[in-house]
Amino acid sequence: MNKKIISVINQKGGVGKTTTVINLAAGISMQGKKILVIDLDPQGNATTGLGLSNTVNSEQTIYSVLNGNKKISEVVQTTQFENLDLITSNVDLSGLEIETAGDRRRAYILKDKLAAYLNDSEASYSYILIDCPPSLSLLTIMALVASDALVVPLQTEFFALEGLTQLMKTIERVKNNLNPDLTIRGILLTMYDRRNKLSGEVEREARNYFKEKVYQTVVPRNVRLSEAPSHGVPVLVYDKACLGSKSYFSFTDEFLSQDKLVESAA
């Protein structure tokens, strides 16, 4: 499978990127496929949400890969979940932008490190999922350059679509200059509130504009989704019957079926 490095991206904060990474990773791993999550956000939310620490020293994190000290294979950690590995992050990662200022090829660092890793190692991940920070900074550009495809969570709130215009421009720029094969795999509507008319309006507008790029699955606003991270587990493990879990199980199936379609067409 060649489209396997996927970034979950939106420069808007708090739209459900990390929640999507954690639960898509959990859903895929539960189907017996191996998955690697890379936490590329100095906040380290994917790290703690999957039960690891974001306060240990940065030698074991993605930061030491991007600053040239370590290889990917040296920082991959197992989690308590079968088939689900993680490269952690912590706040030191926020220094990378300044520290690499003199490196003209710095946008390619993550891509090159991943390519070397996938070449050499026996790791047989079905997917590598990258959790991006809420900005269009160097870290996000690194993710865009390293990725085959993108999943964009879109919170069904006012201004949601306006934020997307800027993201789409950045994606186009990266496609034109740094990564011509980059594609948008899909847009996932999140935090949908059936009682709020606005949610329905944003959904209609998004489907109207982005057509079949918008996943059929819609993630509802569900308090269990916000409780799970404080227990260091995906909601699919914390409460597999809640509405939030149902939506992420359904999203996992929809995500995986995208590749089945491609494979059967080939």
131: which DSSP letter?
A: E
191 is a contact residue toward ligand ATP (CB under 6 A): yes
> Which one of residues 45, 60, 79, 217 is an interface residue with ligand ATP (CB under 6 A)?
45
Task: Please give the torsion angle defined by the CA atoms of residues 234, 237, 241 and 245, in that order, rounded to the nearest 10 degrees.
Answer: 20
Residue number, 12 or 70, with CB nearest to ligand ATP: 12
Q: Determine, following the binding rule CB under 5 A, whether residue 70 of this chain makes contact with Mg ion.
A: no
Asked if residue 16 binds ligand ATP (CB under 6 A), the reply is yes
Please report whether residue 18 would count as binding Mg ion according to CB under 5 A. Answer: yes
Q: Count interface residues toward ligand ATP (CB under 6 A).
A: 20
**Nearest to ligand ATP of 58, 244 (CB atom):** 244
Residue 7 lies near ligand ATP (rule: CB under 6 A)? no
Any alpha helices (H) in 3-156, and if so which ranges? Answer: 17-30, 45-49, 62-66, 72-75, 96-99, 109-120, 138-146
Q: Which CB atom, from 63 or from 117, has the smaller least distance to ligand ATP?
A: 63
CB 21 within 8 Å of CB 37: yes
DSSP 3-state of 129: strand
Residues 21-60 that bind Mg ion (CB under 5 A): 45
The only residue of 5, 17, 37, 189 in contact with ligand ATP, by rule CB under 6 A: 17
Residues 146-185 that bind Mg ion (CB under 5 A): none
> What is the DSSP pairing of strand 84-87 with strand 214-220?
unpaired
17 contributes a contact to Mg ion by CB under 5 A: yes
**Tokens encoding 155:** 């919170």
Q: Which two tokens stand for residue 189?
A: 């509507």
Residue 7 found at the interface with Mg ion (CB under 5 A): no
CB of 119 to ligand ATP, least distance (A): 30
CB of 10 vs Mg ion, minimal distance in Å: 9
Distance CA 143, CA 9 (A): 9
Task: Please tell me whether residue 185 binds ligand ATP under the rule CB under 6 A.
Answer: no
Q: How many CB atoms lie within 10 A of CB 138?
A: 18
* Closest distance to Mg ion from the beta carbon of 131 (Å): 6
Stretch 208-247: interaction string toward ligand ATP, x if CB under 6 A: -----------x-xx--xx--x--------------x---
Q: Report d(CA 142, CA 265) in Å as an integer.
A: 31
Could you give the CA distance from residue 246 to residue 215 in angstroms, rounded to a whole number? 15
**What residues numbered 94-133 form the site for Mg ion, per CB under 5 A?**
none
Residue 14, SS3 per DSSP: coil
Nearest to 124 by CA among 86, 88, 83: 83
CB of 18 to Mg ion, least distance (A): 3
Give the C-alpha separation, 62 to 89, whole Å. Answer: 6
**What's the DSSP call for residue 61?**
B
Q: Which residues of this chain interact with Mg ion, rule CB under 5 A?
A: 17-18, 45
Binding residues (CB under 6 A) for ligand ATP: these are 13-19, 41, 43, 45, 134, 190-191, 219, 221-222, 225-226, 229, 244
